């Protein structure tokens, strides 16, 4: 089902090809609301999503291999955008 949704998704993102909150809401409306929301674990397997958090981010600041292109803005730094991140049990342990 997700492949079908992905195949018809038109992204209008100003920061790249990633999803917006609106995109995710539209996609989630096509699924069974009782289905668990899972993400890939750091070393394999799947983890449950425990919540969402609003964060201030700097866009396109990382170029090193293994790092995502964006970074959380530090205290006093002016963020490029407010974004939403997933909270997982595995992330809390790292």
Q: Where residue 90 falls among pLDDT bands split at 50, 70, 90?
A: confident
pLDDT at 80: 96
pLDDT over 80 (residue 17): no
How deeply is 48 buried, as exposed, middle or buried, from its count of CB atoms within 10 A (0-12, 13-18, 19+)? exposed
Domain residue extents for the chain: 1-35, 50-94
Q: What is the pLDDT of residues 51-86, one digit of tens each?
A: 999 999 999 999 999 899 999 999 999 999 999 999
For every residue of 59-92, DSSP letters joined together read: -S---STTS-S-EEPPTTPPPSEEEEEEEEHHHH
Indicate the pTM of the whole model.
Answer: 0.70
Q: What is the pLDDT of residues 43-53, one digit of tens each?
A: 899 999 999 99
pLDDT at 63: 93
Q: What is the DSSP letter of 24?
A: H
């Amino acid at each position: 089902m997700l492949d079908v949704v992905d195949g018809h998704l038109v992204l209008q993102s100003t920061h790249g090809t990633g999803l917006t909150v609106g995109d995710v809401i539209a996609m989630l409306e096509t699924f069974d609301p009782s289905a668990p929301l899972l993400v890939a674990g750091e070393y394999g397997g799947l983890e449950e999503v425990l919540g969402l958090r609003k964060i201030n981010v700097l866009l396109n600041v990382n170029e090193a291999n293994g790092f995502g292109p964006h970074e959380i803005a530090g205290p006093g730094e002016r963020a490029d955008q407010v974004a939403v991140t997933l909270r997982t049990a595995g992330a809390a342990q790292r």
